[in-house]
Structure 1
C-alpha cells in the first residue's frame, strides 16, 4: 500500500510549497517502529520550518509535521509488546503522512484512557510548557503570559498555578479567549489595553512570551529588574530589542534540550505530562482529512480560533 505524505522540496509559504506525494514506504530500519498514523495537529512549530526560518538545520526534501499519534504495525523483537498499540512516533520522520517510522526507544506509549485527539497533541506544547516551568519556576511569583489564547500558553498558565504562582495574567488579542482564560484561573488582559498591560508587566516576576515584537518591548520597558523574561516564540514575526541590561532575557527552544535527555528521562517527561494534561483545559479539535490540508491550514490562521485543526491520516 502506498504512503501518502505532505512533502516540501523548497522553502516558502506552506500553502505554496507543500505537495502531497504517494509512494511505497521505504525499508524499515533496524531498531525502528513502523506506525500507521491516526491524527496529527497543526502547530506554529510545524509551519515555521517550511518557510525556511530554520533552513540551516532543515534538510530538504522533508515531510512536514512534528507530532501525532498512531498504531504500531511493525516492531523489532525487543519492542514486540508495542505491536498494535498507540504511540507517539516522535523524533523520527515528519508526521503529516499515513506511515511514520521512528526510533523504537523514543516512541511514547499512549495510556489506554487517553483520547487519540488529545494524545496527538501531547508533545510540542505540553513538553515545552513543562520544561519552561521546571527551568523558570513560577512559585510564589506574579506570572504574565503573551499569546494567551494559544494552547501552550493555556497550559503554562494552568500549570504555573498548580506550581504555586501567586497569580497568572494572560494577554490575548481576541475577546473570545477571555472567558476561557478566566475559567482556567488566568486573569485575561486585552492586548490593545496598553495601560493595563503595562501595569501588570510592572509587577511581573516572570514573563513567558511567544509574541516578540512591540509587545515584548513594551513589557521589557517596565518589568522589574529582578524579573525574568522567557521568550519561546515570535508569533508576531518581529524580533524585539532589549534597551537595558535587566530584566534578564532567556531564550527557550525545546530542541536545545532534547539531546540532553537520555531515553529514561525522555520517557519520564511524558509520565508527568499525561496526568496533568488529562486534568487541564485544552482546545477542542476540528478534524480534517489529509486531503483537505489546505482547508486545515486556512482554519489554523483564523483570528480568535479556539479549536485546533488536526489532520486525520486514517485511510
Structure 2
C-alpha cells in the first residue's frame, strides 16, 4: 500500500494528513565497497511540507571529495547509517523553511556543514535541519561556494590554530598540490609566510611546480629531493619551519619532522599513504617537536556558531580579494559515473564539481 501512495505523489504523515512530495535525483549507497560499484543514482521522494525546524534546499553544485570516497568505502573515521545519500559538501538555495526556522529564508544560499550527521549533498533537492546549514553570500560563484566548507576551512585552521605565524616565518607541507595544500599556499602568501611544498613526482610534475609557484609557493620539490643534501642547501638561507602540515604519513611525515625547527609543530590532517606517522625519538626529546592531529568535523562540533561564521567570513574575504583561487572542473550530474571516474584519476590537478541541475 505504501508504494501505491508514494507512486501517486503523496505521503501520509503520522497524524493522517496527506503530504505532497517532489521527486529528486540522488546518489545513494546501501553497502560499503568500491565507490563505482556501491554508489547508485536513484529517484527519491522529497516532502514538499517541511518540519518546523527543517529547510527544503534545491542543490546547485557539489564536489566529489576524498571524504566521500572514503565514506563509500567504509574507511573513514565515522560510518553513516545505511542506506545513505552521498556527498559531504555542496551549495544550494533555500526553497522553503519550517515554522520555527529563524536564521534562513527562501532564496538564501546555504552550504551543509560536514558533521557527524553526514550531510548528503549529491541530490537535486533535499530536506536538512537548520543547524546543518550555513548561510553563505550570493556574490561568490556557486562553484566556489560548493567547495569552501572543507578544504579552505581546513587550511585556515591549520595555519591559525597551532603556531602564531608572522610575516617571514616558514612552513613546510606535503600533499601540496591538493586543494588544502593549494589553499595553504595562497593564505600563507597573503600573510607573508613562506612555504616549502612537497609533492609526488608524476607525469605532470613540471606543470604542478609551475602552478604552485604561480599561486605563491616559494619552494616546490618532490618527496625524494627532500631527503637529499641539495635540499638542505636549498633551504639553508631560510629560517627553519615552525609548522609542518602532513596529509600523507609514512616516510613523508618523518621527513617533515626532520626539517622542522626546534619547538616546531607537526600537524597531521590526512593519511594518503595509509602508513603511520613516525617521528624519531631524538626529535621529540632533544628538539621538542610536538605532534598534533586535526579533524575539521571535530572542530565544528566543539566551536560556536560565531567562531564558525568568523572562519567562513575570513575565507570569503580571501576569495573576494583574489587571494584565494580554487581549481575546479565542472561535470554534469547526469554523467555521474563519468565524473566519479574522473575524480579518481591521478594528478588531475582540479576538484571535480557536479552541476546538480544538469
**TM-score, shorter chain, exceeding 0.5:** yes
- Report if the CA contact (8 A) 2:34-2:73 is conserved: yes
1:187-266 equivalent positions in 2, closer than 5 A: 187=218, 188-193=220-225, 194-195=227-228, 200=235, 203-244=240-281, 245=284, 246-266=288-308
Equivalent residue, structure 1, for 2:9: none
Distance 1:135 1:314 in 2: 38
The gaps in structure 1 that reach 5 residues or longer are none
Equivalent residue, structure 1, for 2:196: 169
Distance 1:224 1:122, change over 3 A: same
TM-score (norm 1): 0.90
* SS of the residue 2:277 aligns to: coil
- Report if the CA contact (8 A) 1:46-1:64 is conserved: yes
- Report if the CA contact (8 A) 1:145-1:157 is conserved: no
Equivalent residue, structure 1, for 2:215: 184
The gaps in structure 2 that reach 5 residues or longer are 1-21
- Give how far 1:69 is off: 0.9
- Report if the CA contact (8 A) 1:217-1:242 is conserved: yes
Distance 2:206 2:345 in 1: 14
Distance 1:56 1:71, change over 3 A: closer
- Report if the CA contact (8 A) 2:33-2:74 is conserved: yes
Task: Return structure 1 stretches of 4+ with deviation > 4 angstroms.
Answer: 77-81, 196-202
- Give how far 1:112 is off: 2.5
Output one character per residue of 1:71-118: Cα deviation in whole Å (capped at 9) or x when no partner. Answer: 111113444862023221335631011112223245233323211111
Aligned match of 2:109 in 66, 72, 86? 86
Distance 2:310 2:132 in 1: 11
Aligned match of 2:187 in 159, 162, 185? 159
Aligned match of 1:50 in 64, 69, 72? 72
TM-score (norm 2): 0.80
Distance 1:198 1:63 in 2: 48
Distance 1:230 1:101, change over 3 A: same
Equivalent residue, structure 1, for 2:345: 302
Aligned match of 2:89 in 58, 67, 70? 67
- Report if the CA contact (8 A) 1:232-1:252 is conserved: yes
Aligned match of 2:34 in 7, 13, 32? 13
